[in-house]
Amino acid sequence: MKPVSNYDLTWRLGNQMTRIPGAVISEEPLSIRIQGNPYSVIMRTPGDEISHAAGFCLGEGIVDTPEDFASIGFCDDQDTNVVTVTLNPSRRSLIADLLNRRGFISQTSCGICGRELVGELFQMIRPVQREVRIPLEAALSRLSRLSDLQPLRKTTRSSHAAAIFQTEEAPLSIAEDVGRHNALDKAIGKLFLQQKLHLAEMVILSSRISYELVQKTARAKIPVLLAVSRPTSLAVELASRLNMTLGCLSKDDGLYLYTGEQRII
């Protein structure tokens, strides 16, 4: 399955109607199976499936290091919609409750208020300890030029992106997807599998920042999370408790910083 599907569409302007070719972003289910059992089904744009599954597993606390994987790959070489994960015995015993879906909270918060949810996540995720210093000009440049790194968006006008940087370098990792969570999982997963995640200092997102995106970034131990759009209240509260820098573009082309402003100089 390709990330873009082609369709004929009708373009209408006033009294004119014309049939033209159009590109639409693809959306397919990705099934992640752990220890032979179904764990999650994610609607995503095809591509980077192994990285996507790896980033998802890191964000959910299923693994802490690449060595926790005994194997990760496609269930069938012909079927890229199913990724199977097996864990090393020591890791499997450590997260037995999580594999039974107890504690699986990023996808559902039924019966939990916002503060209780943040409290539970804080117990699961260690605060970020890294104290990087990023020039304001570098942060603004990365945000303003994110669209230059989005070929899928230029074709379809409907993708999100996540880009991971060191302070003033070219992106270490970039991913696009119909879902903002998926784009971040893919970008993180690429570096995680390459054992280069320790180089990452800043995540740039094309979307608003929800608490799940803070959770995923904190699990990757990346200290700075910036986005084009503003964060939610839960995202701000969780980022504050996890010692992260959270910000977005302001209306005058500057930055609004909600937490961790000392890292932007």
- Which residues participate in catalysis according to the annotation? 110
Residue 162: both structure tokens together:
């996540």
CA distances from 262 to 35, 80, 247 (A): 43, 43, 12
Neighbours of 175 (CB within 10 A): 29
Task: List residues bridging with 226 in a β-sheet.
Answer: 204, 247
Neighbours of 139 (CB within 10 A): 24
- Round to whole Å and give the CA distance between 1 and 151: 17
69-76 and 79-87 beta bridge pairing: antiparallel
- Round to whole Å and give the CA distance between 131 and 224: 9
Helix/strand/coil for 172 = coil
Neighbours of 201 (CB within 10 A): 20
